[in-house]
Amino acid sequence: MSSRGSLIVISAPSGSGKSTLVRGLFEKLLETPGLVFSVSHTTRKPRAGEVHGKDYYFVSEKEFRELLEADRFLEYAEVYGNWYGTSRLEVQSHLEAGRDVLLDIDVQGAMSVKGAMPEAILIFVLPPSFEVLHERLLNRGLDAPEVIEKRLRIAREEVGFYCKYDYIIINQDIEQSLFELKSIISAARCMVSRRREQAEAILKTFIGKENE
């Protein structure tokens, strides 16, 4: 049997370029086989182009509450007025099959995951500065001014959590950030806990070779 996969959590303030980074990682999936994206449940309405079951499982507040009461979430949180939750079953089955699972979740969710699964690897994506973040939110033209104000206010709170994470990616250059993200995933795969079975099998080849 293969060893358990790693749980990799990525968080960032809105506008840090995290979504572009995660998309980039999966577009280059051939270079990172064995990595899956955990599709969350959300009560948020789908945006143009978003696909149910691929980007999110879009559910009603009632459905979300029912899943919550049935203890189906590994973690959940309210973010920008909508509810989001990670499926416990989906994550566990991938990990047990030896696949690495990437969770794109907010800081509240990341802290819950770390509490429940201390072996999870937490990555925080920081923008190069507050000004750059502000500019990116303005330039993407997605949000009304009051929404941008709210995202910036939440970002000021979120950045303080970076020290609770294991790794920081400062997202100045997307290619460099992607390289760093892939390197963190590669490093997780080289951990003793992941390679113990392979190492033990290699060690067995050393037995009885004292005279060679």
Of the residues 3, 32, 34, 44, which one makes contact with ligand 5GP according to CB under 6 A: 44
Q: Mark the segment that binds ligand 5GP (CB under 6 A) among 103-111, 129-137, 179-187, 188-196.
A: 103-111
Q: If you write DSSP's letter for every residue of 60-129 in order, what string do you get?
A: -HHHHHHHHHTT-EEEEEEETTEEEEEEHHHHHHHHHTT-EEEEE--HHHHHHHHHH-TT-EEEEEE-S-
Would you count residue 85 as binding ligand 5GP (CB under 6 A)?
yes
Would you count residue 68 as binding ligand 5GP (CB under 6 A)?
no
Least CB distance to ligand 5GP at residue 82 (A): 7
Would you count residue 40 as binding ligand 5GP (CB under 6 A)?
yes
Both tokens of 132, joined, read: 């750059």
What single-letter DSSP state applies at residue 203? H
Contact string 107-126 vs ligand 5GP (x = CB under 6 A): -xx-----------------
# residues near ligand 5GP by CB under 6 A: 13
Least CB distance to ligand 5GP at residue 196 (A): 30
What single-letter DSSP state applies at residue 159? G
Q: What share of the chain is helix, strand, coil (3-state, %, to 5)?
A: 45, 20, 35
Least CB distance to ligand 5GP at residue 153 (A): 14
**Residue 41 CB: number of other CB atoms within 10 A?**
21
Would you count residue 105 as binding ligand 5GP (CB under 6 A)?
yes
Which residues, at least 6 apart from 15, have a Cβ–Cβ distance to it below 8 Å? 127, 133, 134, 136, 137, 140, 151, 155
Chain residues that interact with ligand 5GP, rule: CB under 6 A? 40, 44, 75, 77, 79, 84-86, 104-106, 108-109
